[in-house]
A and B are shown apart, each in its own frame.
Chain A
Amino acid sequence: MKATGAVSFWQATLAVLWKDLAAEWRSRELLSAMLVFALLVIFIFNFALELQTQLRASLSAGVLWVTLTFAGTLGLNRSLAVEKDRGCLDGLLLAPVDRAAIYAGKALANWVFMLIVAAIMLPLFGLFYNASLILPGVVLVVLLGSEGYVAVGTLLASMAVQARTRDILLPILLFPVVIPVVVAAVKATGGYLQTLPLEEIRPWLNLLGVYDVIFTSVAFMVFDSILEE
């Protein structure tokens, strides 16, 4: 009798998520790189711009998302490079599971890492830029924006990791595709910081929601083909 049984999509997804979190807990390579980078960017912008308090508040949204997306790229690259360098990507692909579950597990792990960075960044950001970013609306935008970014980023990182020039290839592939999500996230965050009425922010939130649904669905559909030679 075979000692194995069918593995559901969610079992496989959670297995990959658990593995990524456990490995990161040990090494802390990915999170520490993302955090150090994010802190440096905040620090540099703070002193380079030397803005008036009011200007700082209006520019905070842009600086926040530039920091998050650049730090996120570091994490995405590293997350897939770990799989490729030791041949572990083959180990994952050899498993008798839906390959979309592998994508889901990796994307969820990347999302968790990005949210951890955001959770540390937001209070620090407020400190440097004299603007309170810990608002329910801003948290919602961070959740939606980072989901869309990670959904596309994980997919494109899986593609870029096959190339020799993966470190430079990922930003080149990723940034043009995430322009809508970054623009919408900056506008929506700025709207909440400037306490604009919800009617003015809602179109940007809608755009983020639609982007997330479309690009997450596309990523699930094409992940298997991207990994084929």
Chain B
Amino acid sequence: MKELVVISGKGGTGKTSLVGSFAALAGSAVLADCDVDASDLPIILDPQVRERSDFLQGHHARVSADTCVGCGVCQSVCRFDAIRGDGPANTFSKRTFRVDPLACEGCGACQQVCPRNAIALEPVLAGQWFISATRFGFMVHARLGPGGQNSGKLVSQVRRKAHDLARTQSAGFLLVDGSPGIGCPVIASVAGADLVLMVTEPTPSGAHDLQRVVALVRHFKVPAMVCVNRWDLNPAQAAHIEAIAFEAGIVAAGRVRVDDVFDRAQRQKLTVVEMASTDVGRDIRRVWINIRARLDGLAQEKPS
């Protein structure tokens, strides 16, 4: 099984549409949607949920409004500005303290210092994750709760499950849809991957953000390729981006042209390559062939 992780730096470059298309082309794949706070792969893959699990991760502090004496020591140690002095009055104090769960990082500093033991740490339901059947194989996906923390840990959980499934299914490929940016969910999705595909667009933002993901994959020493989507929007910028990547030892997997078939496919809940034969479909096939060749090459290089 070979694992391809698709990331982009900048959002909205067509990452998810390409992952969906690769799934259609791969023949035997397990999918993982690691963009857990904007999970869009299910929209085009019509997943039939087979297994659903709660993702309990981290804690939130809660002040007992009956026990709090309003001393405020908790507030003085909180580094996250999560403790507010506007809780309800009780027999000890006109104002008690309360925790803003969206600011609380669950560190427990407040619990340690509370002289009345009025603070409890409660486990947080940070989201849910699912194993689903799709027309191209199994998919592991997730939904982070609103304002959820620990998205990196949820990503790791999704990836771990997808690895297990890919092994038991003897799938040829594990295709991972990553999230934009370079922070914790991205780090959690690229670490240890066989190959990372960076999908970008020929704009100054695309070029700028790509340099930061290039630095990231080098930092984690993961082999990578680049794909410029909508390249004909600005051919010179597309070439510039490929040159930046090449200098960093990252070869191009191919270019994909601008076409509104991306939007039409979404509406029909299909992947781009399932739409009637198009030039874009051929572009994507070419990219996939190059990726497969690179994955094969890497597998041969790897001492077994």
A binds B: no
Partner-B contacts on A (CB < 8 A): none
- B residues near A, CB below 8 A? none
